[in-house]
Amino acid sequence: MTILEINELTKRFGNLTAVDDLSLRIERGESLSIIGPNGAGKSTTVNLITGLLQPSAGEVLFQGEDITGARPHEIVQRGLSRSFQTASIFPELTVEQNAVVAALGAEHGSFSLNFLRRLVGYDAVADRARRTLEDMGLDEQRDLEAQSLPYGDKRRLEMALALTSEPDLLFLDEPTAGMSPDETETTVTLIERIKRDRDVTIVLIEHDMEIVFRISDRIAVLSQGAKIADGTPAEIQDDPTVQKAYLGGIEI
Amino acid sequence: MSLLATTIGFLIQTLAVASIYILVAIGLSITLGTLKFVNFAHAAVYLAGIYIGLAVALELPFSGDIGRSIGLGEVGLGLGFLAALAVIPIISFGLGLLMERFIARPFYDRPDTDQILVTFGVLLIVQEVIRGLVGGRSMTFTRPEWAQGAVGLGPLGTFARWRLAIIAITAVLVFVVYLYIEYTDVGLAVRAGTEDAEMVNLLGVRVTRPFLLIFGVGSGLAGAAGVVSGPVFSVVPEVGIGVLVPAFLVVVVGGVGSLVGSVVGGLLIGAVEVGLQMGAPTWASVGIYALAAVVIMLRPAGLFGVVEVDK
Amino acid sequence: MSDAAEAPTGQGHSEAGDLVARWDAFRQREAFPAIAAIAFVILFPLVFTNLPAYNGYMSLVELIYIWAIFAIGFNLLLGYTGLLSFGHAAFWGAGAYAAGLFSVAISGDPLIMVVVAAVTAIVLAVFLGVLSLRRGGIYFAILTLAFGQMMYYIALGPLGAITGGEDGFTGVSVDPLFGVLEMGAEFAGVLGVLLHDVGYVMFASFFVLAIVGAVRIVRSPYGTIFRAIAENEQRVEFLGLHVWRYKLAAFVLSAAFAGVAAGLHTVHARYVAIASLYWITSGDIVIMAVLGGTSSVFGPILGALAFLYVENIVSGEIAFWLLILGVLFVTVVWLFPSGLWGLVSAMRTAVRRRLLEGRP
C-alpha cells in the first residue's frame, strides 16, 4: 500500500528551481533513502512534504489524502513526523519536559483548552513520555537540562521527540551529520531497531553511502531538483547517471 | 486659496514632516537590515541632537532637579544654528560608535526581545537624564533667524522659511548618504551585508568596520534631525519615543534595509499625517498607525524591503 | 526556572535537612500558592505601613495588588511564551473605560465591573491577537505598540465625548458590593487589623486568585508548551501542536489578567485617565515584569511592588526615581535576567545550603 505519493512536486524561488517536477511513491513499511549531491533539493523536498514550505506546483498525498500545503502541525497529527539535521530540542527544558511536549502533541491533538488541568497526574502524557525516553535509553537523564547533554544524546533526544507520536511515516534528515564513527554506529543500530520493532515507514536523507546501503530497501537519487534514479541499492550502484551526478566524488 | 496653492502647501508640509522621520528612519532601517539589531536607543541620539544642538546654538536652561542642584543656570554657547548643524552630526556619529561598541555588540547574539528591552532601557535612561538636567516642561524657543519669516516662490505661494530649510538640509544629507552607500567600498559591504549578512561574513569580509561606520552615519543623521527639530517644535524629553514610533513605522512601511524605502515610507507617512491633519484632525495620528499596521500584516518586508526580519 | 522541588543534598539525618525536605514537600502541594498568598495579603500591609521610614499606605498596597495582577498576566506572555508586547495598555485602558462606562450606564456593582472589564479585554485581545500574531519578534512588538497608540488617539479624539478625552473619565459610580457591603466599610477588632475594610478584601481576594490562577496555568500543559514555544517554536509545530493558537491563547490570557486588574483599578480610583492607553503605561508594565524577573510567576509581583514603591514613596525624596529604575532595568536585562525575584531565590538557596550543610 502506498503511504506517500508525490506528484510533479515543484518549488521555485524566483528564478531558481529547487525542486523540479518530482514524482515519487513510498510503500508502507519499506525504508527509502533519498540521496544526492549538495544542493540537489533533498531538504527542500522534505520541507515541502512536511509543510514547512509551500509548493509552487504539484501535490502530496499521504495515506491517500491530499496534504499539499497543509500546516506542519496538521501533517504531524495525521501520522507523518520528521527529525531535523540539527538537534532541534528545547535546550532549557529538562529531557523529561522535552518528551512531555512531544507527548502532549500526541495525546491531546493540535490544540486543547486545558490550561487549568494539572500536568502532574495527566497520566497518558506522562506514560507516553516515559516510554519514549526508556525506549531511546534517555530515561536516566530525564531531569537534566537538555542543553547539558552530549551531542550524540541530543540527537537521540531529537529522534525520540519525532517518534513519540508513533508516526506512520518518519523522515530522518541526515541523522548522523557531525557524528563520530561510534556515535554513527549507535545511531544506525538505533534506526535498525526502530525499523524492526515499530510499524513505521522510514525515509532517510543521507550522505553516508555505507549507512544508505545498509538500511535501505530502496534509494531515490536527486540531482538539481529532479529525480534521476529510483531503485534498489544494487540498481543504483550500477547506474551510470548516478555516478556521473556525483562527479566521482563518493565511492559507491 | 487656489487648488494649486493648497496642493503645493500640502506637499511642502508633507516634505517637512517627512524629512524628520526620514532622517531618523534611515539609521534605524540600516541597522535593522544589516546588523539585524533592533535599536530603540536610536531615538536617544535624536534626543541628544535636539538638546545638545540647542545648547550649542542657543542657550539651555538647566532647570531640571539635578540641573538646579548643580546650579548651572542657563548653559549655552550661542553659536548659532549653522555651528550646531556642523558640530552635532559629528558628535552624534561618535555617540553612534559608542552605542555600537558598548550596547549593540554584546547583544548581537541575544534574542530580539533582549535587544528591544535593553535599548528601550537606554533610551529611558537618556530621557530621564535630560529631564533631570533640563527639566520636563515643554520648552519653546524663539526661532532663530533662519527659521523666521516666509519665502516667496513666485506663483507657487509663500512658505515658512524653516520648512524649506529642513527640506533642503534633509535632501542634501540623504543624497550624500545615498552616494556613500552606492559608490564606496564601505557602502558596498553594507549593501551586500543588508541582503545577506551571514553570507558576507562567510565570505570573510570583515564587516565590523563598515557596520561601525553605518551605525555612526545613521546616528549622525538622527542627530541632524534633532538639530533642526529643536528650534521649531516644542521640546520635551518624551519626544524621543515620540519620534521613535513614526520612525519605526517608516522603516516598516518603506522596507527594512532600504534607503529608498525609508524615503518613500517617510513621504507616505508624512502625507497621511498631514493630509489627515488638514481633513480630519482627530484621526491624524490614528491614520499613520493604521497604515503601518496594514503594511506589516500584508507585506512585512515593506514596500522596498530586501530583508524580512522574522523570528 | 525552578518550580520543582530542589532535592536536599545533605544526609537527611540532620534536623535541618529533615525540615527542608518537609518544607519542599509542602511547597509542592496544590494548596501552597493559595496559602502563601493569603498569608502575604495579611502580613504585607502590616509590615508595609509600619516601616521605620518611608512607609507605605493602604491605598498603595491595593494599587500594588492591582498592578501585580496586570504584571503576572503580562509575564505569561513575555516570560513564558517569549512574546514582547508594547501595547498592553490597550487592554488596561479598554478594560478600565469599559468598567467605568458600565458603572454609569448599567450597574456600579464592583464585581460586575471587573467582569465587564475582563470580558472587554478578552474580546479585544482575540481581535488584536489575530492581527498582531501573524508576525513574530520585532514586528509583533511594533504592531502591538501601533495598535495601542491607535486606541489612545481614538479615545482622545473621535471618541472623546464618551471617554472624556484628555480629562479622563470621571463620574465612575461604585455601588456597594453585593448591594450591601460598602467598599469603605471597615471591620472591627481583630478582623479589622487583619482585613481592614471590604474594599481591601476584594482587592486582596483577586490578587490571591490571580496568583493561584497563574500557578495553575503554568503547571498545566500550557505552561510547558509556552516555554517550549519560546525556546524552539518550529519544533513545537513539528510535534503536532498548533503554535499560533497557543500564542493567541497566551495573548488572550495575559489580556484577561490585564482586564481584571483594569476593572479593579477603576473601582479603586473611581476615575480613568487617558494615560491608561498611552505607550508609557505599556512601558511601565514591561519594566515591572522584567525588573521583578520574568522566569517565574512571582517575579512580576516584586517588580510591581518595587516600581510603585519608588514611584509613589521614593519619588518624594529623589526626583530622578525613573532614572534609577531605568538603570536597574538595564542592569537586569543585561546581567540578571532573573530579576529581583532571582535575587530572592538566590538568597533562599543560600539559606537552604547553610541549613543542609550546617551543624547537624
- The pLDDT tens digits for B190-199 are 666 555 555 5
pLDDT given at position B311 = 36
Q: Which phi and psi (to 5°) does residue A34 adopt? A: -110, 120
**Residue A52 sits in the same domain as residue A10:** yes
Sign of the CA dihedral C137, C220, C302, C22?
Answer: negative
Give C283 to chain B, closest Cα distance, Å: 9
CA B15 from centre of chain: 14
Domain containing A217 equals 1-79+168-252
As a whole-number percent, the residues of chain B with pLDDT over 70 amount to 82
Kindly provide the ipTM of the predicted complex, given to two decimals.
0.91
What single string gives the DSSP state of each residue in C250-290?
A: HHHHHHHHHHHHHHHHHHHHS-B-GGGGSHHHHHHHHHHHH
C231, C238, C240: residue with CB nearest A93: C231
Comparing alpha-carbon positions, the chain A residue that sits nearest to C234 is: A88
pLDDT given at position C2 = 42
- Give the start-to-end residue ranges of the domains of chain C: 36-290
**Residue A142 sits in the same domain as residue A174:** no
C-alpha–C-alpha distance, residues B154 and B144, integer Å: 24
- The pLDDT tens digits for A200-240 are 999 999 888 888 888 889 999 988 888 888 888 888 888 88
**Higher pLDDT, residue C12 or A35:** A35
With an 8 Å Cβ cutoff, are A88 and C234 in contact?
Answer: yes
Q: Does A84 fall in a domain?
A: no
b/e code B161-189 from CB counts within 10 Å (16+ = b):
bbbbbbbebbeebbeebeebbeeeebbeb
**Residue A75 sits in the same domain as residue A180:** yes
**Residue A67 sits in the same domain as residue A180:** yes
C-alpha–C-alpha distance, residues A57 and A24, integer Å: 15
**Residue A249 sits in the same domain as residue A232:** yes
Mean pLDDT across A170-197? 88
For chains C and B, tell me whether 3 or more CB atom pairs sit within 8 A of each other: yes
With an 8 Å Cβ cutoff, are C320 and B132 in contact?
Answer: yes
**Residue A19 sits in the same domain as residue A8:** yes
Beta strand A31-35 with A57-62: parallel, antiparallel or unpaired?
unpaired
Among B66, B112, B115, the strongest candidate for a mutation testing the C interface, having the largest count of C CBs within 10 A, is: B112
Q: Label residue B203 by pLDDT band (50, 70, 90).
A: low
A97 beta partners = none
Mean pLDDT across B224-252? 82
| Four-CA torsion C303, C308, C309, C311, nearest 10 degrees | 120
Domain boundary pick from A100, A132, A166? A166
Domain boundary pick from A131, A166, A201? A166
Q: Residue C29: helix, strand or coil by DSSP?
A: coil
**Residue A161 sits in the same domain as residue A181:** no
Tell me which residue has cell 525499523.
Answer: A195
What topology is assigned to C36-290 in CATH?
ABC transporter involved in vitamin B12 uptake, BtuC (1.10.3470)
A22 beta partners = A9
Q: Residue A56: helix, strand or coil by DSSP?
A: coil
pLDDT given at position B208 = 63
How much is the CA Rg of chain B, to the nearest whole Å? 19
C-alpha–C-alpha distance, residues C223 and C80, integer Å: 7
Sign of the CA dihedral A115, A118, A120, A125?
Answer: negative
- The number of folded domains in chain A is 2
Q: Label residue B75 by pLDDT band (50, 70, 90).
A: confident
List per-block mean pLDDT (blocks of 10 residues) for chain C, which spans 360 residues.
44 66 76 90 90 85 96 96 94 96 90 95 95 82 88 88 87 81 78 82 95 94 95 94 96 97 95 91 95 94 94 82 90 90 90 73
pLDDT given at position A204 = 92
C220, C239, C245: residue with CB nearest A76: C239
**Residue A118 sits in the same domain as residue A189:** no
- The pLDDT tens digits for A10-29 are 998 878 888 888 999 999 98
**Higher pLDDT, residue C236 or B30:** C236
Domain boundary pick from A116, A149, A166? A166
A10 beta partners = A57
Question: What chains are in contact with C, requiring at least 3 Cβ pairs below 8 Å?
Answer: A, B
Put residue B135 in one of left, alpha, beta given phi > 0 → left and psi -120 to 50 → alpha: left
**Residue A72 sits in the same domain as residue A105:** no
Sign of the CA dihedral B209, B214, B215, B217?
Answer: positive
**Higher pLDDT, residue C315 or B211:** C315
**Residue A105 sits in the same domain as residue A159:** yes
Strands (E), B90-152: 150-152
- Mean pLDDT of chain B, nearest integer: 79
**What CATH number corresponds to the domain at position A251?**
3.40.50.300
**Residue A188 sits in the same domain as residue A221:** yes
Closest by CA to C92, choosing from C128, C140, C57, is C128
C-alpha cell of residue C171: 463620574
The pTM of the full predicted model, rounded to 2 decimals, is 0.89
Mean pLDDT across A188-199? 88
pLDDT given at position B194 = 55
Closest by CA to B286, choosing from C145, C155, C153, is C153
C-alpha–C-alpha distance, residues A83 and A176, integer Å: 11
Q: How many beta carbons lie within 10 A of that of residue A26, not counting itself?
A: 21
**Residue A10 sits in the same domain as residue A28:** yes
pLDDT given at position B141 = 66
| H helix or E strand, kind and range, residue A159 | helix A151-163
CA A19 from centre of chain: 18
Chain C residues with CB-CB distance to B116 below 8 A:
84, 86, 138, 141
Q: Which phi and psi (to 5°) does residue B234 adopt? A: -80, 140
C153 contact B CB<8A: yes
Mean pLDDT across B181-198? 65
